[in-house]
Amino acid sequence: MSFGLSPLEFRESIRSGKHTGNTSGYCPGYVQGNVVILPRDWASEFLQFCQFNPKPCPLVGMSDVGNPLLPTLGAGLDIRTDLPRYRLFNDGLVTEELPDITDYWRDDLVTFVLGCSFSFEEALTADGLEVRNVIEGVNVPMYRTNIPCRSAGRFSGNMVVSMRPFLAADAIRAIQISTRFPSVHGAPVHFGDPSLIGVEDINSPNFGDSVTIEEGEIPVFWACGVTPQVALEQAKPPFCITHSPGCMLMTDIPNSQLAIF
Q: Which of 34, 19, 222 is nearest to 121 (CA)?
A: 222
From the list 74-82, 109-117, 138-146, 172-180, the region that binds its own copies by CB under 8 A is 172-180
Task: Please identify, among the stretches 8-16, 88-96, 164-172, 244-252, the one whose residues bind its own copies according to the rule CB under 8 A.
Answer: 164-172
Q: What is the dihedral of CA 207, 7, 253, 23, to 10 degrees?
A: 10
Q: Which is nearer to its own copies, 5 or 175 (CB)?
A: 175
Cα separation, 7 vs 90, in Å, equals: 31
Residue 3 lies near its own copies (rule: CB under 8 A): no
Please report how many Cα atoms fall inside a 13 Å half-sphere around the Cα of residue 77, on the Cβ side: 22
CA distance 258 to 160: 22
In the complex, minimum distance from the CB of residue 86 to its own copies, in angstroms, rounded to a whole number? 35
Residue 216 is a binding residue for its own copies (CB under 8 A)? yes
176 near its own copies (CB under 8 A): yes
Cβ 220 vs Cβ 166: under 8 Å? yes
Rule CB under 8 A: say whether 69 interacts with its own copies: no
Residues of this chain, 99-118, that bind its own copies according to CB under 8 A: none
The span from the CA of 66 to the CA of 144, in Å, is 33
Position among 69, 175, 213, 259 found at the interface with its own copies (CB under 8 A): 175
- Is residue 172 part of the contact set for its own copies (CB under 8 A)? yes
Does residue 188 bind its own copies (CB under 8 A)?
yes
Q: Provide the sign of the torsion angle of the four alpha carbons 56, 169, 207, 138, taken in this order.
A: positive
The verdict on 171 binding its own copies (CB under 8 A) reads yes
| CA triple 205-118-88, angle to 5 deg | 70
Minimum CB–partner distance for residue 122 and its own copies (Å): 20
Residues that bind its own copies (CB under 8 A): 168-169, 171-172, 175-176, 179, 187-193, 196, 216, 218, 261
